[in-house]
């Protein structure tokens, strides 16, 4: 009888464990992308930035660890850092999104960098790209291409020692 009881308890524990894993969402299910856009750039400009708000409805923190797009040869995650008295753009390994919180990607701060564009991006077009999260899940994003200054507040990425790209 004791062996049967142990098997029953073990079986219930396994069902509970697997049920909880199936119930928990992955990053792509829990992180919502809001207000995405890609900056229009002058003809011949090889790179541009993508901006958005990442909202995490889950109870665990998540992170974007990479991206890809048919609009450019490479997609990198970037930020701006103060170095030697100048604000410089640098690649980073991940963009973290806190549990139940949000992370804003904006000019002069965190952003997705599209490197070596395969064609000119004009205002009114849409750019598709994929964000890859730490757990391997992915989210496809369609973002409108907007004018350089659109979506920026005064002082963001302008003057104040910050470099725009």
Q: What is the per-residue pLDDT across 85-130, written as a single tens digit (0 to 9) for each?
A: 888 899 999 999 999 999 999 999 999 999 999 999 999 999 999 9
Q: What is the per-residue pLDDT across 53-93, written as a single tens digit (0 to 9) for each?
A: 999 999 999 999 999 999 999 999 999 888 888 888 999 99
Give pLDDT, residue 149.
62
Give pLDDT, residue 16.
45
- In DSSP terms, 48 is beta-bridged to 114
Predicted confidence (pLDDT) at residue 11 exceeds the cutoff of 70: no
Cα–Cα distances in Å, from 137 out to 66, 94, 97, 111, 154?
Answer: 11, 14, 14, 19, 36
Strand 62-68 with 126-133, pairing: antiparallel
pLDDT tier, 35 (very low <50, low <70, confident <90, very high otherwise): very high
pTM: predicted TM-score of the whole model, two decimal places: 0.75
Cα–Cα distances in Å, from 93 out to 65, 68, 96, 155?
Answer: 6, 14, 10, 27
How many angstroms separate the most distant Cα atoms in the chain? 78
Give the residue among 160, 155, 151, 164 at the shortest CA–CA distance from 51.
151
Give pLDDT, residue 12.
46
Predicted confidence (pLDDT) at residue 20 exceeds the cutoff of 80: no
What are the two backbone dihedrals, phi and then psi, of residue 20, each rounded to the nearest 5 degrees? -65, -40
Give the residue among 72, 51, 48 at the shortest CA–CA distance from 141.
51
Give pLDDT, residue 82.
81
Question: Residue 10: which H helix or E strand, with range?
Answer: helix 2-23
Give pLDDT, residue 87.
85
**% residues pLDDT > 90 (the chain):** 65
């Amino acid at each position: 009888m004791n062996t049967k009881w142990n098997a029953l308890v073990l079986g219930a524990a396994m069902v509970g464990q697997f049920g909880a894993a199936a119930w928990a969402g992955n990053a792509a299910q829990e992180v919502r992308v809001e207000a995405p856009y890609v900056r229009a750039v002058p003809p011949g400009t090889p790179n541009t930035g993508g901006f958005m708000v990442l909202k995490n409805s889950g109870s665990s923190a998540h992170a974007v660890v990479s991206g890809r797009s048919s609009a450019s040869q490479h997609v990198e995650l970037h930020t701006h850092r103060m170095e030697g008295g100048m604000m410089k753009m640098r690649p980073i390994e991940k963009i973290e999104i806190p549990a139940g919180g949000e992370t804003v990607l904006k000019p002069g701060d965190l952003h997705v960098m599209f490197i070596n564009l395969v064609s000119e991006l004009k205002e009114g077009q849409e750019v598709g790209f994929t964000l890859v999260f730490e757990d391997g899940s992915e989210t496809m994003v369609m973002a409108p291409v907007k004018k350089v200054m659109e979506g920026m507040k005064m002082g963001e990425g302008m003057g104040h020692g910050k470099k725009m790209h």
